[in-house]
Structure 1
Amino acid sequence: MIPYFTALSKALQQLLSGYDSNWLSQKKFLTIIEQAENQNPWFTQNNIRYALTQIATNLRADNLKQWLSAYPQITVPKQVKTIAVIMAGNIPLVGFHDMLTVLISGHKLIGKLSSKDAVLPKMIQQILININPEFKNKIFFTETQLKNFEAVIATGSTNSAQVFYQYFEKYPHIIRQNRNSVAIITGNETTEDLKKLGHDIFCYFGLGCRNISKIYIPENYPIENLTGYFSEFSYIRNHNKYMNNYDYQKAIFLMNDLSFLDGNFFLMQENNNLSSPISIIFYERYRNLNHLKLQLQTLQHKLQVVVSKENNNFGHTQQPNLWDYADGIDTLNFIL
């Protein structure tokens, strides 16, 4: 299976570089990403290209071999199963890893696409079929009720997850719901660290579960010092839907006489909650770092990523490796 996905990686690299690939023309590629943006304005062409770049990188042979080396049983002949995958649509191709996991394990995929991301997965499907026509019998997308499957992977909101649990309780399943990511600032961060934190916050407009929605800062840390490090992301002011959210949230703060910090394209508010609305970054002060770490351990079921100097992961939240499983659940082991 690895050669087929390295071919996909090469095809994406060629298309992203402005060239035709052997499996899809540049003209068709540009039409598809324009169509995806028209269908969902949050999927800007820059964000689509960023997502595809991360996929192309992950599909290099060395990354695939490192990932699969932990699963020697993958080479053992097995009965082919049909795995249903319900994909989210908050960021471009967020369901690709599940799609890859099903296919590289030798099983069939029946996917239920989000209406917010119904174009790009079909492009990946077509490229794979062009690489190896056998994928035509392994990749199916449906807009109707899922049928004839043996296990399910479903990603959605906290509310939809409750429905999934009831509907799929008799099947082997992985069901994911809302999670958030947070950052811990100690005051020992470099300028580069804090600029990278901006990427973790604003990439994909903050719509991903790996985007930082909340920052923990020391008790006496001057929060206004952070705003200058995020200036390179001011280009998102040009996105109408994002700025509509910014204007709306700012108006709410002003009308309710709430305290906030205005970064001119984002707002910061001291708040105990984990999940912040679009254009708002929550922050919370802490007195003792060890106590904060213990607090976050109790919240593990609500967290996707914790970014910190100690974890050495500033700027990488939206660059997960193949073995960085969503919610910490080993999807490939589940399928095998």
Structure 2
Amino acid sequence: MTIEDHKSNLITLGKFLGQFGVAESFKDKSLPGNDRFFSELDEKIDSAVHYNGWFNRENVVFSLQQWSQALTFENINAWLDSYDLRQSGGKTVGIIMAGNIPLVGFHDFISVLVSGHKVLAKLSSNDQQILPVIAAYLMELDNRYEDRIYFTKDRMQGFDAVIATGSNNTARYFEYYFKNKPSIIRKNRNSIAVLTGEETREELADLGEDIFRYYGLGCRNVSKLFVPEDYDFDDFFKSIYDWNPIINRDKYANNYDYNKAVYLMSEFKLLENGFLILKEDKSFSSPIATLFYEKYKDTEKLNQNLLENSEKIQCIVKNTPEEGEVKFGQTQKPRLWDYADGIDTLNFLLKL
């Protein structure tokens, strides 16, 4: 398959994924394979919710829509045109996928395909409904994918390299088990936001998207704020209030109640608004329904702190982002060239 074949198929896939909505989906009769796969994926979206208590239709559809917006002619060319993909391929790459948010391993999946390699995917039990349908749709578009995409529930065998995503604990296992294979091993990371106190209500409302989307379970979700010493959280709480229905989700509410009880028994000083707890803490990783914050005096010292802890940070979010940083409301809308952990996945694959 040529790179132009891959591009064409991914563009069509993007249009296919864009059909699905929260309340209603709209079928594009002009898309190839739609008679078979439209209903199947629509059903699997609802099925995914039953396999993972943290998934709901809104979040699964949000993920599909973001991928639809990413897989356009312009974006795919902007991503791939800086690579020489003519001589790549021929290897089998194992992908061990996490299941914390919908389709969290999809970028690895398409990266392996466009680099000419074969995919051997091991899905998380928490997210195994959607990707097989997408893979089958790609095979419908081009049957040459049938020899390039494999799924396994067993121990992976016969692979030449691996991309594995998990926790810090599982990463130690991955590093040992795959020590003789080329690999990308991803560990826990969190995202942070730097506030100046000059943000508008609209900007802070956008920040709410970065905090609450997927209930804060993703590595691109903001789990900590850095704020000036005299920061007043009143505008922040007012700006994110539209997210208050999140407390009606049982799993989120259970985490909120549990963490609040633990903190109060430990006599920690807290700020809270009925659906989010703010706790002053130097850690980067906060529990669900809790957002840590840390005060800063000097911007240069703050930047040095972030640099020293860069291996713990996925995204730095600001209202006026510099290169490599993210604007409020955009953490869950990464571009195709925004690689997880800052590791160029395609460059790794092209060197195999």
- Is TM > 0.5 for Structure 1 vs Structure 2? yes
Output the CA distance in 1 between the equivalents of 2:276 and 2:20: 33
In the TM superposition, what whole-angstrom CA distance separates every residue of 1:72-123 from its partner, at most 9, and x where no partner exists? x11x234511111111111000000000100111110001111111111112
Q: Unaligned regions of 5+ residues in structure 2, if any?
A: 1-5
Secondary structure class of the residue paired with 1:285: strand
Is 1:328 aligned with 2:330? Answer: no
1:45 match: 57
Q: 1:258 aligns with which of 265, 268, 273?
A: 268
Q: Unaligned regions of 5+ residues in structure 1, if any?
A: none
Output the CA distance in 1 between the equivalents of 2:56 and 2:245: 12
Is 1:223 aligned with 2:233? Answer: yes
- Cα shift at 1:254: 2.3
Output the CA distance in 2 between the equivalents of 1:231 and 1:49: 23
- Cα shift at 1:238: 2.1
1:119 match: 129
42-51 vs 9-18, which moves further: 9-18
Secondary structure class of the residue paired with 2:338: coil
Q: Contact (CA 8 Å) 1:37, 1:43: kept in 2 or not? A: yes
Is 1:148 aligned with 2:158? Answer: yes
Identity of aligned residues (%): 43
> Counterpart amino acid of 1:314?
F
Output the CA distance in 2 between the equivalents of 1:78 and 1:97: 18
In the TM superposition, what whole-angstrom CA distance separates every residue of 1:196-244 from its partner, at most 9, and x where no partner exists? 1111000000000000000000001112431111111112122111111
> Counterpart amino acid of 1:14?
Q
Q: 2:77 aligns with which of 65, 85, 91?
A: 65
Q: Contact (CA 8 Å) 1:11, 1:23: kept in 2 or not? A: no
1:91 match: 101
In the TM superposition, what whole-angstrom CA distance separates every residue of 1:16-48 from its partner, at most 9, and x where no partner exists? 442155324443222101110000021110000
In the TM superposition, what whole-angstrom CA distance separates every residue of 1:172-206 from its partner, at most 9, and x where no partner exists? 11110000100000112122211111110000000
1:22 match: 32
94-103 vs 259-268, which moves further: 259-268
Q: Contact (CA 8 Å) 1:18, 1:26: kept in 2 or not? A: no
Secondary structure class of the residue paired with 1:265: coil
19-28 vs 264-273, which moves further: 19-28
- Taking the TM superposition and a 5 Å limit, the aligned residue runs for 1:255-334 are 255-311=265-321, 313-334=327-348
Q: How many residues align?
A: 334
218-227 vs 135-144, which moves further: 218-227
> Taking structure 2 as the reference length, what is the TM-score of the superposition?
0.92
> Taking structure 1 as the reference length, what is the TM-score of the superposition?
0.96
Is 1:4 aligned with 2:4? Answer: no
